[in-house]
A and B are shown apart, each in its own frame.
Chain A
C-alpha cells in the first residue's frame, strides 16, 4: 500500500519551498503569485516562459532563482544572429600531446539554470536547439550526446510588444515549457517600495537558500505527494475539454480552439499540482491545486482559431471557460444540497 507523506515531511518540504519564496519575494516585490508559480515550476522540474513588458523584473527574478538554488547559472541573450552552436557548444580542434582532435566545448546550456532572455528574438533554428535540451536534458553535437547537468531549468523571457524582428516560438517549443506566465505590472504601492528599497535598481545581495542536498530532498518530497485518482481524472477531463471536437467541451472551446492540448499538458498539470499541494502544506493533490496551476500550464498549449483571435479571444479566456465548465466532482442531484 502506498504511504502518504507524514506531517513532518510535508512541513519540511514546505519549509524549503518557503525559503525559495522568501528569497524571490525579496527580489521581486509585489509579485507573490508570479513567485509562487515560478517556485512551483522549479519544484516540478519544469521550464518556465515569462512574458511581460520590459522592466517588470523578469530577468531579475530568474537571476534570483539561480542564486537562491545555489546552482550553476548561465544567461543567454537571444538575438537573431545567435546560432545553435552558440548555446549548445561545439567541437573545437585542439592540439593535445602533438595530436589534433576535436574536443567538445560545452555551451551555456550546460548549467543548471539557464536564462534564455528574449528567446523569441533568435531564429527558429536556434530555438529548436533548445528542444532536445529541454525535453531530454541532453545535447547532441556531431553525433555525440552530452547529458546536461541536473537539475536543468530553462527560464525564458519574451517581450510581447516588439514583434518586428522576432520569431514566435513554435507550438512544439511552447509545449516544452511547463508554465508560461504573464508578468503583470505593479501598482503604485509596490513601486513606492521599490523606490525606497532599491538604489539604482540593484537587488539585495542574497546567498543560496538551498543546498544541493536540500534541493534533492525537496524534489523527493514533491515526487511523494499523492495524486488521487479522482484528481487525476479531473486533470484529464480538463485537458480533454480543450478538444474542439469533444462532446463535453465548452462552446467557446468548440468555436475558438484550433488544436487542443496534448497529454504532455496533463502531465505538466499533474506535476505542477504536486508542487502546488506541497506549497500549500498538503500531502496530496487537491482539486484546488489543479485549478491553481491549470491556467499557466494550459493556456500556451492551445492553438487558437484565427477567427477567435480576431474577435479578441485569448487562450487564457478559453482555459478559464474550461475551468468553469468542467466540474471538479460530478454534481449532486438537485434534490439534495
Chain B
C-alpha cells in the first residue's frame, strides 16, 4: 500500500449534511466526536466545507425542498469522495416514505456508497460505515 492510500485511509474529513432529519441521527454523529468515541483518534475531522471534505455524511430523507442543495454539496466535493447515508430515513425514506414532499432515499439524488440503517443509527455503526467508505477512497485511481 502506497503512502498516498495510507494517508487517505488515515485522514478522512467528514462533511455532515442534515437533509431534513429529526436530528436523532445528527446527535448520534456528534456523539462520535465526544471524548467517549473520539473519532479524531482515527484522523476523522468534522469539516464544514465541501471542498475540503472526503466523506459526505447525510441524514434524513431526500425531499423537494433541499435536494438541489444536496446535489450541489456533492458536486463541490473533490475526488476521491464517498457518501454515507445515516439512518433509515436516508436509506429508504423511512417513516416519510410516500409522503408528497419526500423523494425517498438519498440514493434518488446522489450515488451512495454505504448505508447505515437504524432509527437512530448508533455511533459505533457510523464509525464502522466511515471505515467501509475508506475502502472506496483506498481503491481510488487503481
Q: Do A and B bind each other?
A: no
